[in-house]
Amino acid sequence: MECPMCEFIKSGNAKKIYEDEMVIAFLNPNPAVIGHSLVIPKQHFVIIEQTPDSLVGRLFEVANLVSSALFRALNLQGTNIILNNGVSANQKIAHLAINVIPRTENDNLNFSWSPKQLNEEQMSTIELKIKEHTKNLGILEKEEKKIFIDSSKEKITEKSKEIPKFSRDLETQKDYKVDKKIKENKEAKDKKNKGERKEEEKEENYLLKQLRRIP
Amino acid sequence: MELNSEDLENLSPEEMAEIQKKNCIFCQIAKGAVNAKKIYEDDKVIGILDINPANPGHTLLLPKEHYMILPQMPDELVNYIFVIAKGISNALLRAVGATGTNIFIANGVGAGQRAPHFMVHIIPRIDNDGIKCFEIPQSKANIEELEKLSYVVSEIIRTEMEKKKKKDIKLIVKEEPEILQSKERIESNKSKRMGKEKENQTNNEIDGKKKKSRNLDKITDLLLRKK
């Protein structure tokens, strides 16, 4: 079954406001309010966890651009940028889409939630649990830079050993100019992480499965 | 330093921004002067647990530098903060057993922004958790209205991109709608079809930057006035 979002773009009926090689933005034909735009990757990704880092950054850069343009085109009090990631988070279509929603007074929209009360102990437990999973974050960004700067091959090999498991994203990143040597190293490293990765993939597949169940 | 409302009225926006920066609770947290439950930190951004969470694990990701709204931030930082947001979203799925996440940003008081420091909300979600606010309502749009607006907005974006001169991004330019093919026809069509209001918008495009900063000023101003 073809993705309805991919088909909609191909159909040419989308009212595009931005398009480059990877990203496309258009006015939502079923908007919350007029001007409600969607920023989506051209390639079919369902959730943000699947999407390569460089594309995630690019998507939100465009969302920012669209948000500013809407400020100027319409008389606004603000904008909301919302990504609903997964069926549990109210994602309706199985294609990653960032909503940019113009806000004005009395627009009858309300995106505020009622806070839950947690005690100090519960908060501390959650803090520790999350910290455990954010340890390796941000390292990739730094490593990427180092690889590009260092031209000598020896250094590249050395640095690439430190590439964390997040490097698996690079595989899906078509435009990423990794030279062969790094790739080989990465593959070796990946093999080590295979067990760990399988677990992760299972979880992701679960999320995707849920989305596929949407009629 | 205590200020009464009269003093506040007389301050210039720059002075006001300076005072606000000093009093910004999130800048204090970023500096480490105020305690918070930090779940992630590097040299540019910091992730903390929201003390009024929508769900357990609700994280606020903020730049350490003081920016009030997203459009003020440099592209590199925007890019970076969302790559980290992706990582945190990923971490939340594992750490609190979430089956989805909402990534939420409010730009401006009118959009529900509560503090004058830009932040990304990352909210872990599970089925039937009772959170209804992210169900985005739908309506049927007028196709003609969409066509016109898409032209205006894409023109603004194109000029903005040209200013930035991003060479690594190949912009695919939208074809002009048939109704707006020649310049003369643009003018006549605009006054005929779009009415005066839309004509104002085209003028706005021309003194674009001015209008933009004015509009942004309005939004930041509202935030500034919020105590």
pLDDT over 70 at A127, yes or no: yes
Let me know: does A165 contact B68? Beta carbons within 8 Å.
Answer: no
pLDDT recorded at residue B208: 55
Indicate the SS3 state at residue B53: coil
pLDDT over 90 at A31, yes or no: yes
pLDDT recorded at residue A126: 92
Rounded Cα–Cα distance for residues B113 and B119 (Å): 9
pLDDT over 60 at A157, yes or no: no
Whole-number average pLDDT of chain A: 77
Nearest to B156 among A69, A110, A116 (CB): A69
Rounded Cα–Cα distance for residues A192 and A171 (Å): 16
* Domain annotation for chain A: domains and CATH numbers: 4-103 (3.30.428.10), 135-212 (no CATH)
Indicate the SS3 state at residue A214: coil
Is A103 at the interface with chain B, CB within 8 A?
A: yes
Lowest-confidence region among A24-33, A74-83, A173-182, B124-133 = A173-182
pTM over 0.95: no
Is the torsion defined by CA of A7, A69, A84, A58 positive or negative? positive
Is the torsion defined by CA of B101, A81, B220, B68 positive or negative? positive
pLDDT over 70 at B124, yes or no: yes
Rounded mean pLDDT, A124-147: 72
pLDDT recorded at residue B121: 96
Q: Which of B53, B48, B76 is nearest to A134 (CA)?
A: B48
The alpha carbon of residue A151 and the mean position of all alpha carbons in its chain are separated, in whole angstroms, by 30
Please indicate whether residue B21 or residue A31 has the higher confidence score (pLDDT): A31
pLDDT recorded at residue A141: 46
B83·A56 Cβ contact <8 A:
yes
pLDDT tens digits, one per residue of B106-115:
998 889 888 8
Rounded Cα–Cα distance for residues B132 and B139 (Å): 18
Burial A104-126 (b: 16+ CB within 10 A, else e): beebebebebeebebeeeebeeb
Please indicate whether residue B223 or residue A122 has the higher confidence score (pLDDT): A122
Whole-number average pLDDT of chain B: 80
Contacts of A93 in chain B (CB under 8 A): none
Please indicate whether residue A30 or residue A172 has the higher confidence score (pLDDT): A30
A82·B49 Cβ contact <8 A:
no
Taking the CB of residue B169, how many other CB atoms lie within 10 A of it? 15
Q: A100 is written with which tokens?
A: 């940019």
Q: Which of A38, A109, A4 is nearest to B135 (CA)?
A: A109
pLDDT recorded at residue B19: 79
ipTM: 0.75
pLDDT recorded at residue A2: 78
Burial A170-197 (b: 16+ CB within 10 A, else e): beeeeeeebeeebeebbeebeeeeeeee
The residues that bridge with A15 in the sheet, in sequence order, are A27
Tokens 């939100």 map to which residue? A60
Q: One-letter amino acid identity for A207?
A: L
Q: One-letter amino acid identity for B199?
A: E
Q: Would you place residue A106 in the very low, low, confident or very high pLDDT band (cuts 50, 70, 90)?
A: confident
Rounded mean pLDDT, A77-88: 93
Please report how many Cα atoms fall inside a 13 Å half-sphere around the Cα of residue B42, on the Cβ side.
18
pLDDT tens digits, one per residue of B146-205:
999 999 999 999 888 888 776 666 676 655 555 444 455 555 555 555 555 554 555 555
- CATH of B5-125 among 3.40.50.620, 3.30.428.10, 3.30.70.380, 2.40.50.140: 3.30.428.10
**Helices marked H in B139-207 — which ranges?**
143-164, 183-189, 195-206
pLDDT over 70 at A114, yes or no: yes
Is A210 at the interface with chain B, CB within 8 A?
A: yes
pLDDT recorded at residue B206: 52
**Helices marked H in B45-127 — which ranges?**
75-95
pLDDT over 80 at A109, yes or no: yes
pLDDT over 60 at A178, yes or no: no
pLDDT over 90 at A55, yes or no: yes
Is A83 at the interface with chain B, CB within 8 A?
A: yes
The residues that bridge with A26 in the sheet, in sequence order, are A16, A38
Domain residue extents for chain B: 5-125, 143-225
Q: What percent of chain A has pLDDT over 90?
A: 43
A20·B215 Cβ contact <8 A:
no
DSSP B2: -
> Measured in Å, how far apart are chain B's first and last C-alpha atoms?
14
What backbone torsions phi and psi does residue A101 show, to the nearest 5 degrees? Answer: -115, 120
Across the A:B interface, residue pairs with CB atoms under 8 Å apart total 295
pLDDT recorded at residue B61: 96
Nearest to A57 among B79, B112, B208 (CB): B79
pLDDT recorded at residue B212: 53
Rounded mean pLDDT, B49-64: 94
pLDDT recorded at residue A63: 96
pLDDT over 90 at A168, yes or no: no
Rounded mean pLDDT, B141-145: 89
Q: One-letter amino acid identity for A111?
A: F
Is A176 at the interface with chain B, CB within 8 A?
A: no
Please indicate whether residue B1 or residue A96 has the higher confidence score (pLDDT): A96
